[in-house]
Amino acid sequence: MDIRHFILFALLLPACVSRKKQNIQHNILILKDSYCKASKRYNYNGNAPSYNSDSILQANSHLHKQFTDQSILILNALGTLDEVERILLLKKDTSLAAKVQVLQLKNTINSKITIALTELDAVAAEYDCEGERVSQMAAYVENINNSRNDKLILYSIITGAATSVAGSLVNSQGLSNAINIGGGVAGAGLGLATMNPKGKKVVFIHKRNILRDVWEEKLVSPNFPPFVWYMYTEPHFSSKENTSIISGMKERWLHFHFDDDTTAARHSILFGDGGYYRASDLHSRAAMLNQMQSATRTINQNFNYLLLDLDKLILD
């Protein structure tokens, strides 16, 4: 009588979590496609700033008294070097009209800086949003795997208990041994199943893959404003000499996420349009997105220096 109640409990137990599974599947459908991309496509100017940085710095060497190399390159990328030159000329004039013109020119420069900062913030926000989406999906996949393992462990316990009870109720020694052996094999099989390192997979789509351009080091889509891409790829804005922000990022990804295996990285699902993801792949993607968000935020430091240089230019 006891064993029948025990088995009935085991059969009814999965129904208790069916509602939870339905919620998980519903949330997976919501997270499968990206909701982080902009609602409208911006018509960014397709002309990227010049990468001939040495020539630019040499041609504007007279500005080194007021600006750092990075500030000069930003002013050139924003197309505001002419405004700076006019300010330098107007500073020689002490009239009220000249001072008003200086402030107007500074406002023009500040307006372009604001637009550039807004573009950086927009890109960083998309990295943040996409990273959160990936992390949520990873949590759901791990939830599925944990639920699966919990069930297998429970079934293993039930199998072992049922085998013990059934073996004690059978009078035949041979039949009792057979029940014990069969139960042991079943329990061992369930135990080994919980050790499966791969676990469940889930469909995850990212046709707008904001990691792909970074990995390929080539802007082939409207994922980034040209100015932001310039900041990513101009070595002068990287803390590592002669290496751009995304080149340094790619080196770290290759080493830490792919064990320096270029072939594995090139064929990774992380840089495609999406597909079947395991939890470990989702965690890797979330880490990469967070790293790019941080790298994007650090570009703001260059603008802080530029704004300070501009204020000194006006006040001196």
Task: Give the number of residues written for the chain.
Answer: 316
What are the helix (H) ranges across 49-95? 53-59, 69-78, 81-90
Q: What per-residue confidence (pLDDT) applies to 139?
A: 85
HSE (side-chain half, CA atoms, 13 Å) at 75: 27
Quick one: pLDDT at residue 161? Answer: 46
**Which residues fall within 8 angstroms of residue 169, CB to CB, at 6 or more apart?**
3
- What is the rounded radius of gyration, in angstroms, for the C-alpha atoms of the chain? 31
Identify whether the C-beta of residue 196 lies closer than 8 Å to the C-beta of residue 274.
no
- 120's tokens: 């950086």
User: In Å, what is the CA distance from 251 to each residue of 238, 243, 268?
Assistant: 14, 10, 15
pLDDT of residue 152: 41
Give pLDDT, residue 241.
Answer: 73
Q: Which pLDDT score is estimated for 143?
A: 74
Residue 93 CB neighbours (<10 A): 12
The amino acid at residue 265 is A
Report the pLDDT value the prediction gives residue 21, as an integer from 0 to 100: 57
**Distance (Å, rounded) from C-alpha 146 to C-alpha 23?**
15
Distance CA 215, CA 235 (A): 16
Token couple for 24: 């998980």
b/e code 277-293 from CB counts within 10 Å (16+ = b): bbbebbbbbbbbbbbbb
pLDDT at 146: 59
Structure tokens at 79: 């197309």
Res 212: pLDDT? 94
pLDDT score recorded for residue 142: 80
For residues 8 and 4, give the distance between their C-alpha atoms in angstroms, rounded to a whole number: 6
Residue 33's alpha-carbon distances to 21, 26, 125, 274, 283, in angstroms, are 20, 13, 17, 10, 17
Helix axes 69-78, 226-233, angle to 10 degrees: 160
Return the pLDDT at 233. Answer: 95
- Going residue by residue through the chain (316 aa), what tens digit of pLDDT does each one get? 445 554 544 444 455 545 555 555 555 555 556 678 766 666 666 677 888 999 999 999 999 999 999 999 999 999 999 999 999 999 999 999 999 999 999 999 999 999 999 999 999 999 999 999 899 888 888 877 555 444 444 444 444 444 454 444 445 555 444 444 444 444 434 333 333 445 578 888 888 899 999 999 988 778 899 999 999 999 999 988 789 999 999 999 999 999 999 999 999 999 999 989 988 899 999 999 999 999 999 999 999 999 999 999 998 8
Helix ranges restricted to H, the chain: 2-12, 18-32, 53-59, 69-78, 81-90, 96-169, 173-193, 212-216, 226-233, 245-258, 262-266, 279-298, 300-315
pLDDT recorded at residue 284 = 95
